[in-house]
Amino acid sequence: MGEILLKVHDSYRYVVAICDKELYGQKFEEENRQLDLTGPFFKGEEMTTQEVKEEIARHTLEDASFNIIGEKSIKVAVESGIVLKSGVGHIKGIPFALVLL
């Protein structure tokens, strides 16, 4: 079993939702911002960090965007080269990044 959830939404472009498994089902709010992980958007397949890296690599070749939430997920995205540490935001201490390729 993996520690990260990944779901690919096929819209006018691929939208890849990645979040730490233990965060799914929670909502984090701070001032006028929120991370809502309670709905189906982030309810994806459980994957290992290596499997997530492979999916990121595959989707960076496509016209994709990424929604990434959680320490493990952000670490994988940084290691994969799609997120810079300076591009990571935080809400209630939870790191997140949005990437449009």
Contact 54, 4 (CB under 8 A): no
Per-residue model confidence as pLDDT tens digits over 22-71: 999 999 999 999 999 999 999 999 999 999 999 999 999 988 999 999 99
| pTM, to two decimals | 0.95
For residue 55, the Cα-to-chain-centroid distance in whole angstroms is 12
